[in-house]
Structure 1
Amino acid sequence: MRHILVFAKTPYAKTPYDQWLAGSGIVPVIVTAREYAQGYSHLPHVHAFDAYDTNQLVEKTALRLAREFAVEAVFARAEADVVRAAQLRALLGLPGQHTASALAFRDKVVMKDHLAGGPVDVPAYRRLDSAYTALDFVAEHGYPVVIKPVSESGSLGAAIIRDEAELDAYLASPWRGTSEIEVFVPGQMYHVDGLVAGGEVVFVHPFRYLNDCLSFRNNDWVANLPLTREDPLYDRLVKAARAVLAELPTPPQTAFHAEFWITPDDRLLFCEIASRTGGGMISAMVRHAFGIDLDKEWLYAECGLPSTLGTSEYRPAGALCIPPRNGVLEQLPTATAEQPGCVREVMLTGSVGQEFHGGVKSGLFLAGYVVDGDSEEDVAANLEHVAGWFSDNSRWRPAESCGGTA
């Protein structure tokens, strides 16, 4: 029997590793967060942890299990696991992404150091290690600027600083550790998602955001919509993503999620890239639109299994993520209203009676939907319709009125 170690920071319904590996002779050894453990409980080797992202017993247990089962590969699809998985591979001499590559895809400053001066424009940036650096950068480049952690995902912790008063407020808040400061880039954000297998890009496609990555700050929805091949930005974005992958120490097998801006004066600028599948409902949308399960194909590539990539016909589809509001959720629309016919997949991450404190990051959501339509324009309209339907048929009450936390 062959084994692989899987850092599984996802619900089982999203990543049924045993089903994907059925018939391959490979058994997954699961290391997961406590909240996902129940879903994997039918598997023979499952180890769950509280405070998963920062609990270093995760690393200790993973090393012990990797040695005990003589694992052939290590698989990790969550941002929090990229570096810990790479370090484990390096320690055990296993194939796949090692630490220098993981850091280049995880640390935004290391990433841009690789890309600066290359074929894709990068906004002015600097590692922010003290208030003096922020002051010096603003003196050189002016406002507005963006300050964000070097290694978070989903726009978590990002702050747009528009003037000195906002900078003062930022500097007066508790120190967040090493961050990055960069010039603010106006414009529309796009993302390019794909898969590298055997050192070759075997799937790549660009998408645009409806609303934007910071919509969760206002407890507003964000959606993703594929570009058509006829879109004038299609080739530019694909070429930019390929160029970025060529400049970085890209591992031979990886999914990727890259983000770019197109400015009002039609410049293309790099934002960031991750060596993983996109968050939210992006993987589910790709599966419906292209017939490709990026997570499963990536796993197969890591395990040396034959690809099941086909040439299925493209069907227009989009992804919608709706963050929670502030308060206690009293009613979900599933119990009160008929679901719009354009919905193809639903993922709910909360339940009635639960207290929420608004949006946390762009990839986390209360309700996720995959929506289809006859064309991209039709899908865009349907995404707006489903977002409105959800809002009209869900109900909230202030947390203070409930007498406690659900």
Structure 2
Amino acid sequence: MRHILVFAKTPYAKTPYDQWLAGSGIVPVVVTAREYAESYSHLPHVHAFDAYDTNQLVEKTALRLAREFAVEAVFARAEADVVRAAQLRELLGLPGQHTASALAFRDKVVMKDHLADGPVDVPAYRRLDSAYTALEFVVEHGYPVVIKPVSESGSLGAAIIRDEAELDAYLASPWRGTSEIEVFVPGQMYHVDGLVADGEVVFVHPFRYLNDCLSFRSNDWVANLPLTRQDPEYDRLVKAARAVLAELPTPPHTAFHAEFWITPDDRLVFCEIASRTGGGMISALVRQAFGMDLDKAWLYAECGLTPTPATHGYRPAGALCIPPQNGVLERLPTAAEQPECVREVMVTGRAGQEFHGGVKSGLFLAGYVVGGDSEEEVAANLERVAGWFSDTSRWRPAPSSGGIA
């Protein structure tokens, strides 16, 4: 019997590793967060932890299990696990992404250091080691600037600083961790998602955001819509993603999620890239639109198996993530009520649960993949489903809030 160690910071319904590996002779040994433990409880080897992201017993247990089961590979699809998985592979001499590569895809300053003199435009940036650095950067580049953690995902902790008053407010209560400062880039944001297997880009496709990555700040929805091959930005975004992967120490097998702006003066500017699948409903969208399960294909590549091919050609689709409001959720819309354009649903909350608004762009209360006969119809259906959800869900103020949700 062969074994693979899996860092599983996802519910089983999203990543059924045993089903994916059925018939391969490979058994997953799962390390997961406490909240997902029950969903994996039918598997023979599951170890769950509280405070999963920062609990260093995760690493200790993973090392013990990797040695005990003589695992052949380590798989990790969550941003929090990228470095810990790479360090474990390196320690045990296992194939896959090692630490230097993981840091280049995880630390936004290391990432931009690799790309600064390359073929893709990178905004001016600096590692933010003190308030003095922020002040010097503003003198050199002016406002607005963006300050964000170097290693968070989903726009968590990102702040747009437009003037001195906003800088003072930030400095009075800064992000508690290592950050970077960079010039603010205006424009439409796009993302490019894909898969590298055996050192080759075997799938790549660009998408545009409807609303943007910071919509969760106002408890508003964000959506993803694939570009058609006829879109004037399609080729330049694919070319930019390939160029970024070529400049970075890209591992032989990885999913990737890259973000770019196209500015009002038509410059394509790099934002960031991650060596993992995109958050939110992006994996579900790729599966519905292109017939490819990026997570499953990536897992196969890491295990030395042939990635499963796409099951169908392109079908127009889009993904929608709706964050919670502030208050207690009284009612969720039911499946029987949902518009006929909905193809896939993921709900992460329940009636009676108290929420405190959006936390980060990749986390949501309800996620939908919707279809249509054309990209224009899909875009309209995304707005339609967002409006339907708002109209049919019900909230009441939380006992402690004293306000209206």
What is the CA distance between 1:269 and its match in structure 2? 0.1
What is the CA distance between 1:117 and its match in structure 2? 1.2
What is the CA distance between 1:174 and its match in structure 2? 4.6
Pair 1:59 & 2:64 matched: no
Q: Distance in 2 between matches of 1:399 and 1:85?
A: 39
What is the CA distance between 1:177 and its match in structure 2? 2.1
Contact 2:292/2:311 (<8 A) preserved = no
What is the CA distance between 1:311 and its match in structure 2? 6.6
Cα separation, partners in 2 of 1:108 and 1:247, compared to 1, 3 Å: same
Contact 1:193/1:206 (<8 A) preserved = yes
Q: Distance in 2 between matches of 1:405 and 1:396?
A: 9
Contact 1:318/1:372 (<8 A) preserved = yes
Deviation per residue, 1:204-227 (Å, 9 max, x gap): 000000000000000000000000
What is the CA distance between 1:400 and its match in structure 2? 2.2
Equivalent position SS for 2:102: helix
Q: Distance in 2 between matches of 1:403 and 1:144?
A: 35
Q: Distance in 2 between matches of 1:260 and 1:270?
A: 5
TM-score (norm 1): 0.98
Contact 2:396/2:404 (<8 A) preserved = no
Contact 1:86/1:102 (<8 A) preserved = yes
Cα separation, partners in 2 of 1:386 and 1:29, compared to 1, 3 Å: same
Contact 2:96/2:253 (<8 A) preserved = yes
RMSD: 1.7
What is the CA distance between 1:150 and its match in structure 2? 0.1
What is the CA distance between 1:176 and its match in structure 2? 1.6
Q: Distance in 2 between matches of 1:402 and 1:138?
A: 37
Contact 1:129/1:177 (<8 A) preserved = no
Deviation per residue, 1:183-219 (Å, 9 max, x gap): 0000000000000000000000000000000000000
What is the CA distance between 1:405 and its match in structure 2? 16
Q: Distance in 2 between matches of 1:34 and 1:307?
A: 30
Q: Distance in 1 between matches of 2:119 and 2:400?
A: 56
Contact 1:354/1:405 (<8 A) preserved = no
Deviation per residue, 1:82-117 (Å, 9 max, x gap): 000000000000000000000000000000000001
Equivalent position SS for 2:89: helix
What is the CA distance between 1:178 and its match in structure 2? 1.3
Contact 1:332/1:352 (<8 A) preserved = yes
Q: Distance in 2 between matches of 1:46 and 1:4?
A: 12
Cα separation, partners in 2 of 1:109 and 1:154, compared to 1, 3 Å: same
What is the CA distance between 1:338 and its match in structure 2? 1.4
What is the CA distance between 1:18 and its match in structure 2? 0.1
What is the CA distance between 1:309 and its match in structure 2? 1.4
2:324 aligns with 324
What is the CA distance between 1:312 and its match in structure 2? 2.3
Q: Distance in 2 between matches of 1:29 and 1:310?
A: 27
Cα separation, partners in 2 of 1:261 and 1:402, compared to 1, 3 Å: closer
What is the CA distance between 1:401 and its match in structure 2? 7.0
Equivalent position SS for 1:138: helix
Unaligned runs of 5+ in 2: none
1:216 aligns with 216
Deviation per residue, 1:27-70 (Å, 9 max, x gap): 00000000000110000000000000000000000000000000
Pair 1:106 & 2:101 matched: no
Q: Distance in 1 between matches of 2:371 and 2:59?
A: 41
Pair 1:305 & 2:296 matched: no
Cα separation, partners in 2 of 1:289 and 1:175, compared to 1, 3 Å: closer
Contact 1:355/1:405 (<8 A) preserved = no
Deviation per residue, 1:284-317 (Å, 9 max, x gap): 0000000000000000000001121137211000
How many residue pairs end up in the alignment? 405
Deviates more, 1:216-225 or 1:176-185: 176-185
Cα separation, partners in 2 of 1:403 and 1:45, compared to 1, 3 Å: farther
Cα separation, partners in 2 of 1:134 and 1:78, compared to 1, 3 Å: same
Q: Distance in 2 between matches of 1:120 and 1:328?
A: 45
Q: Distance in 2 between matches of 1:59 and 1:395?
A: 41
Equivalent position SS for 1:301: helix
Unaligned runs of 5+ in 1: none
1:366 aligns with 365
Q: Distance in 1 between matches of 2:15 and 2:277?
A: 12
Contact 2:206/2:226 (<8 A) preserved = yes
Pair 1:284 & 2:321 matched: no
Q: Distance in 1 between matches of 2:229 and 2:300?
A: 28
Q: Distance in 2 between matches of 1:141 and 1:42?
A: 56
Equivalent position SS for 2:37: helix
Q: Distance in 2 between matches of 1:78 and 1:138?
A: 34
What is the CA distance between 1:403 and its match in structure 2? 10
Equivalent position SS for 1:289: helix
Cα separation, partners in 2 of 1:321 and 1:47, compared to 1, 3 Å: same
Contact 2:86/2:102 (<8 A) preserved = yes
Structure 1 segments, 4+ long, off by >4 Å, are 401-406
Contact 1:257/1:276 (<8 A) preserved = yes
